[in-house]
Structure 1
C-alpha cells in the first residue's frame, strides 16, 4: 500500500473519529433549556436530541464502538507509514546509525499518526463541540441514529453488559434532570457575571425564590404595632388615630385586639369625618365593614401571596395556635420583601450602615435580611427564630439586656437598646483582627 493511499485512509479515519468525538461531547454539553426552546420553535432534530439525552446509553455505545474501531484501524494503517522515508534520510546522514535510525523512524511515524489524531480527532473537535453544542448535536443526530440502527446487535450486547454492571453497582442508568433552586441560582449568577442579567434583576429573582423559604412573620406588622379601632371607639379617638397613623385600612375589634371583627377602609370613614356624620363605629354596617382574611402563622410568604390571590384581598390578620393575633400583613408587605434589594427600602428602614464594618440593626429585622447584609451563610438553629432579636435570645438563653454581647463568625452582636424586654436595636461590628502565627526563631549556639 502506497504512502499516498495510507495518508488518505488516515485522513478519513481522523475525520470519522472527529465526527464521533463531536457527537459525544455535543450531546453531553447541550443545554436542555436551549434545546427545548428550539423544539418549541419547530426544530424536529432538537426533539430527537432531547429524547437521546433522556436515554443516551445506545448513543454513547455507538460512539465508543466507532472511536475504538477507528483507533485500531489507524494503528494498523499508520504503522510505519513514515519509516522508509525517515530511515532513508537518516541512513544518508548517519550511515552507521543502525538500530538507532530504525527507532527514530518508528517514533516519527508514531508521533505523526498519534499527534494527528490528538489534535484533529480529539482536541479541536471537542472544543468546537463544547462551544457549539446544540448546533452540532442537532446536525449530527440523524446520522448517529442511523449508526445506532446499523450497529444494533453490537449495541444490544455492549449496552446490556454495561446495564448489568451499573445495576450491580446500584448506579442509576439515567441522570436526574430535575432542576433545583441551586441550579437556577447558578444560571442567574452566571448571567449576572456575563452582564446579561442586571444586578437589580439578579436580586429580584433571588427574592422570588426566597418567598418559598420566608415565614409570614418575617414581613408582618407585629401585634404591638397594629393600630386598630374597637366598636365603642369614640369619634375623637378615631380622628386622632387616622391623623397620627394615616393607614389606608384599619383593623376593627369588638373589645381588644384578639376579638377581631373585620376592617374598614379609610376612604369610607374620612368622608363621614369631614361631614361630621361619624359618631363612632356602633353602626358599623353603614361604614362597609370588610370581610377579613385570617391566616395562620405557619404559612410562607409564597403561600400568603396565594391566599391573597384566592380571596382577591390585600389585607390579612395572622393568628397563632392559641387564636391570638400575632401580626398583620398586607400585599404591600409581601411586595416590599420581594423588591427589598431592588429599591433598598428594607435595608434603609431596619439596617443602617454606620461605617465600613459597623451596622445598627433593628431587633425585628428578619434573619434572612441580616444574612444578606452581613454575608453570613447560616445562623445556628435559625428555624427556631425569625428575627435578629430572636437570634440573641437563642444564643444568650435569656431575655437580652442592654449591653448583652455575643460573638458569632467574625461579628460581635451587642444590644444597645431595650424597651420593656423588647430588643430595639443592636450594634453589629465586624472583627477585622487577624491572628498571626509566630514561628519560633532558634538561636545559633
Structure 2
C-alpha cells in the first residue's frame, strides 16, 4: 500500500499540504527523491512478511490441521495445501488488493499516514536496502534505462485531465473551451485574430470633415486609426468619445490634441505575447496596429479581439459584418471566406491539421482555399479535402466571399486498414 500511495501522489496537492505546515509532506517528498531505496525498503518488508507468514503458517497450522483431518488419506500433504491456499488468499486480499485500492483512492492521505513508519523501516533495513538499491541501479545502467525522477506535466496531459473533469461533471463545457483557447494563444500569430487592412475604418485627414463625420457615425465604432493620405502614414488613433468631448467643449477643434499613440506590433508576434504587451503598456489605448517587415499596416487588433480569442465570440453593435457560418436545411454550411480557420475546425470538431496549415500559415477559410487551389478560383469551382467538399459560391473581385461546405462526416478506415 505504501509504495503505491507514494508513487501515485499528485505533487501539486502534496505541495499544498506542505505549505499548510504538514511535516509528513516533506517526508513524502524525501522518499520520492530516491525511489530505488524507498522501493527496496518496501520490498524488504513485503518479503519478510511473506516468509514469516509461510513459515509460521506451516508450523503452527499445518500440523494441528493434519491431526484434525487424520481420518482422510495423505492428511499431512492435504493440510499443508489447505494452509498454503488459505494463507495465499488472505495475503492477496488483505495484504495486497484491498490496501492498494485504498491507496489509489486517496494516495495523498495514505502517504502522509505511512510516511513516518516508512522512515523508521528505512533506517532499520538501511544496510540491506542500500545493497538492493545499488544493485538495481547497476542493472538499470547496464540495460541503458534512465532512472528518471521528474514529474513534468505537459499541455496535452492537462487537456486530458480537463476532458476527464468535464465527463465527470466537475468542469463545465464553457470552462473547458476557455482553457483550450488559452493554450491556443501561444501557438497563434496575431494575424489570426486581426481585422485585415481592407476592413479597417480609418480617418483620413485629407478627406473632407463632413465625410469623416459620416464615416464615424455610420461605422458604430469607438476608436479609429488616423492618417494623412495613406494608412501606412498613420499618426495615431482617436476615440469617438474624445471627438465628442472636443465638439461640446466649444473650443476650436484640433484633432492633433486628441490623437493617442497606438501599440504597433509585428504580424509574426504570438497572440499571448500581444496580451503581455497590452498589460505592460498601460499608457496605450486598447488598440494595436499590425505591420509587416516593411512597416506597412496589415491589420488592426483591439483588446476585445483578444478577449474573444479566450472566451469566444462576443456580439457587438459594430460587428454586423462579422464572418458567419450558416447551416442550411440540407445539412450543408454557407460560410464567409473570412471565417477564421480555427473556428471552422471547432465548428466541425476537426482535430487534425488541414493540408499545409503550418507551412502556409493561412488563418481564414479563404486562405485555406487559396492554399489548396494555388490560384484565384472561379465561382462554382469545387475542391475536396479530407471529409469536406468546398464549393465557391461568390467571388467579390479577387476575394473569396462565400463558400458552400459539405461535411461528409468522419472517415472510417476500411477493413484493410488503409
TM-score (norm 1): 0.84
2:278 equivalent to 1:303: no
SS at match of 1:259: strand
Q: Do structure 1's residue 382 and structure 2's residue 369 form an aligned pair?
A: no
Query: Matched residues in 1 for 2:164 and 2:221: separation?
Result: 42
Q: C-alpha separation between the residues in 2 aligned to 1:128 and 1:419?
A: 66
Deviation at 1:436, TM superposition (A): 11
2-side partners of 1:359 and 1:423: how far apart? 15
The 2-side partners of 1:213 and 1:318 are apart by 17
Q: Deviations over 1:35-91 (max 9, x none)?
A: 111111111111221232243221111011111222222222223755445545555
Unaligned runs of 5+ in 2: none
Match of 1:331 among 292, 297, 303: 303
Q: Residues 44-59 of structure 1 correspond to what in structure 2 (within 5 A)? A: 44-59=23-38
Rounded to whole Å, the distance in 2 between the matches of 1:69 and 1:356 is: 72
* 1:337 CA drift (Å): 1.5
Aligned to 1:121: 95
Residue 171 of structure 1: CA displacement?
Answer: 2.6
Structure 2 CA distance for aligned equivalents of residues 139 and 243 of structure 1: 70
1:166·1:173 contact (CA, 8 Å) conserved in 2? yes
After TM superposition, give the deviation of residue 116 of structure 1 in Å. 0.9
How many Å separate the matches in 2 of 1:417 and 1:230?
31
Q: What SS class does the counterpart of residue 258 from structure 1 fall into?
A: strand
Aligned partners of 1:80 and 1:110 also within 8 Å = no
CA–CA separation in structure 2 for the residues paired with 1:228 and 1:57: 67
Q: Is 1:212 aligned to residue 186 of structure 2? A: yes
What is the CA distance between 1:413 and its match in structure 2? Answer: 2.2
Shift of 1:185: 1.4
The 1:397/1:29 distance shift into structure 2, 3 A limit, reads: same
Aligned residues of 1:212 and 1:302 also touching (Cα < 8 A): yes
Q: 5 Å matches for 1:33-182?
A: 33-79=12-58, 82-88=61-67, 90-92=69-71, 94=72, 97=73, 99=74, 101-182=75-156
After the TM superposition, which residues 163-242 of structure 1 pair with which residues of structure 2 at under 5 Å, given as runs?
163-242=137-216
Please tell me whether residue 367 in structure 1 is matched to residue 341 in structure 2. yes
SS in 2 for 1:257: strand
Unaligned runs of 5+ in 1: 1-21, 439-445
Aligned counterparts of 2:215 and 2:334: Cα–Cα separation in 1: 30
2:225 to 230, 251, 275: 251
Report how many aligned residue pairs link the two structures. Answer: 406
Distance in 2 separating the partners of 1:155 and 1:310:
54
Identify the match of residue 395 of structure 1 among 368, 372, 382.
372
1:31–1:427 CA distance, 2 compared to 1 (3 A)? same
Deviation of the 1:354 alpha carbon: 3.0
Q: For structure 1, which segment, 259-268 or 46-55, has the greater mean C-alpha deviation from structure 2 after superposition?
A: 46-55
Structure 1 contact 269–278 (Cα < 8 Å) conserved: no
- SS of alignment partner, residue 214 of structure 2: helix
Question: 1:432, CA displacement in angstroms?
Answer: 5.1
Distance 1:166 1:38 in 2: 33
Shift of 1:420: 1.4
* 2:340/2:363 contact within 8 Å kept: yes
Q: CA deviation at 1:168?
A: 2.9
1:386 is paired with a residue whose SS is: coil
| Residues 323 and 338, structure 2, Cα contact 8 Å, conserved in 1 | no
The answer (yes or no) to whether the contact 2:388–2:407 under 8 Å persists in 1 is yes
* CA-atom RMSD in angstroms: 2.7
**Are residues 135 and 272 of structure 1, via their aligned partners in 2, closer, same or farther at CA, if it must alter by over 3 Å?**
closer
Rg larger in structure: 1
Change over 3 Å in CA distance of 1:366–1:437 after alignment to 2: closer
Quote the residue 1:284 is aligned against.
255
Once the two structures are superposed, what CA deviation does each residue of 1:166-189 show, in whole Å capped at 9, x if it has no partner? 233333323331221112212222
Question: Structure 1 CA distance, aligned partners of 2:144 and 2:219?
Answer: 65
Bigger drift between 311-320 and 429-438 goes to 429-438
For the structure 1 residues 297 and 57, does the alpha-carbon distance in structure 2 shift closer, same or farther, using more than 3 Å as the test? same
Determine if contact 2:387/2:411 at 8 Å carries over to the other structure.
no
Change (3 A) 1:406 1:278: farther
Query: Secondary structure at 1:79's aligned position in 2?
Result: helix
- For 1:408, the equivalent position in structure 2 comes to 385
TM-score, normalised relative to structure 2: 0.89
